[in-house]
Structure 1
Amino acid sequence: MDFAFDARTEELRGRLLAFMDEHVYPAEAVAEEQRARLASPWDTPAVVGELKAEARRQGLWNLFLPDAEYGAGLTNLQYAPLAEITGRSPHLAPTALNCAAPDTGNMEVLAQFGDERQRKQWLEPLLAGEIRSAFAMTEPEVASSDATNVETRIEREGGGEYVITGRKWYISGAMNPDCRIFIVMGKTDPDGPDVRRQQSMVLVPRDTPGVTVKRAMRVFGYEDHSHGGHAEVLFDHVRVPVSNLVGEEGGGFAIAQARLGPGRIHHCMRLIGMAERAIELMCRRAVSRTAFGKALAQQGVVQNWIADARVAVEQLRLLVLKTAWLMDTVGNRGAHTEIQAIKIATPRTVVDILDRAIQLHGAGGVSQDFPLAELYASARTLMLADGPDEVHQRSLARRELKKYL
């Protein structure tokens, strides 16, 4: 395994670091100021459009997509250090580069499983950053950590239509007025013998009759305007043509797994960037504040926090890079164990680092004057998103134990 950055990665890193310094970090406060003056908190601040235009002009666009026909054609190993950089401003930078969830996963689904018409109608405007999208899988009435539990029904009526009935929540991006399309997971064969072949995915335009975006769901008190919120969405006898099926009937579970693998590693890449931002803020705070007669940087406990954070981040980065390398060389299935390992280790470790950073900042740490509280809410949520830690622990443990049975 050679994790040295190749020439293309180094060149993109340099351009991206400059873009962050010159455009993204200065835009953080501007975006908040502009949002306060918008007619709706879900509207997009003008500065975001300016960032997107500049990122596209500089060729920092769709870096996440390994398919060279649609994206930058980068490997996971090449993309990892770039995603880490965007994680330093996770509520702005990924969107600016058109590399933000849930659009990234939805674009990957359409590129891999969509037909020519679906790619033309939905993938192309997503790639251009003209529209946003949402992925509707999680439901409030069942334990969605087990995707076979979904109760939304996708029933074929006659030869030409599906009728969709169900209730979803925490559907990321759905509050954004630019969200035009949902990828909805539900059951087309609820009584089928194979529980992993009961589900299918269909494309549902947001303006389809029967689709109601009911309310925004808060995350630790935040409404997460920058990502288009997390909504409760009702599907009341929603009718779409059968041609809106993604892939094949019964393929929904497999598509979900194909979608979530890259999504999990992308989250972990960005989490490392969040941790790096936290360490930087800790160090700046530690050398600028005095307590009990000496700088915080001279307090032993603070030194321990900073040292432990550095060690932890270096460990996580190596594990994420190994996982990216395996995904590139042996495929997502061959990297299954490592994907689960990073999904378990990264959020919990970054949450701990952010917790220490908040503590070091005192009251400022939980305020809006620093990004730490919002970063903490995002990182803590990722212990649930894309499968709770415990689900990955269960699967990983069973794979380890199988060697001895």
Structure 2
Amino acid sequence: MTFKELNIIEPILQALTEKGYSTPTPIQEQAILPAIDHQDILGLAQTGTGKTAAFSIPIIQHLHLDSLQKEGEEKIAKRAIRALILTPTRELAIQIGESLKDYTRYTDLQYTVIFGGVKQGSQVNRLKAGVDILVATPGRLLDLMHQGHIKINKVQHFVLDEADRMLDMGFIHDIKRLLPRLPKNRQTLFFSATMPRSIASLSRSILKNPIRIEVTPASSVVDTIEQEVYFVEQNDKKDLLVKLLHEGDMKSVLVFSRTKHGANKIVKAITKAGITSEPIHGNKSQNARQRALENFKAHKTRVLVATDIAARGIDIENLELVVNYDLPNIPETYVHRIGRTGRAGNVGKALTFCAASERIFLKDIEKLTKNKLSIVKN
């Protein structure tokens, strides 16, 4: 199947062609047509499966066609927010904004991205100029709503992205405060990598007869990712990581630490060995996190050391290697971590350093994924 077969209008098709998109991913193939048909969507998908395009393309198509029909009317000149995309982190919001920039290129639609941790002035000015699509993190959205800068009473399309991460980060109460302010007559597109009970309950409360799409279960891992495990004592992990980095020619390596303090210690050891590295975690300011991410994308920094909360919005094309320096105690987290590599059909590699005290975590991961990691000896 091609994008042309999904009833996508020409301005969007042209933008997709220029981006090199030809064949839709499974979630795009299954979600775009129902979403164009105004149906609610419940999408279960790992990161890296192409869900941003799956929800963005139908929304852009609806809004563009609606604008053409009402062209010349005064209410179109005064743009109202007609689509709201809610996402948990600044990094994810920026990533979605970059996609919207590409997909809306040949339409007259306006969008903006708002998030906390920075001064609000430029964001407020952009909102005053008028936008059709708003990408927001929950805290900054509610803050600007309370100040009177944002009204969501005209929203026709509402996207809740990375719902399980919203729960992990404590945003569930913000979402529940936000929902009554949205019009009841709207389309809702709900996406989550996992479906714990609280998220399932939330989805039932806001979706109307949704189409359920589950392209890759949360317990699955991408087939193109080579997975290996090193059994190594905790105190030897730094030396092993430095050795592998010196021996390998990987340009981009993402290392996962269980704690913020641990991430800083790893960066210190790597930097001492002459390898460019930066940490990204919750103790870093938004600007510092974004700077580190941009340096990593531009290959100015070879190694990015991240905690799980900070890493959800990291989307790097052709990321070569993910290293689980510390094993996560929640097996689903392992799936999210290694899903940073092997994206969009590319080959990827994931290495896991397992100390004796972490064997039980490895056992849980292998039970969930139904996959035995290849053991690297010597």
TM-score of the pair, normalised by structure 2: 0.27
Greater share of helix: 1
TM-score of the pair, normalised by structure 1: 0.25
User: Which of the pair has the greater relative contact order for Cα pairs under 8 Å at 6+ separation?
Assistant: 2
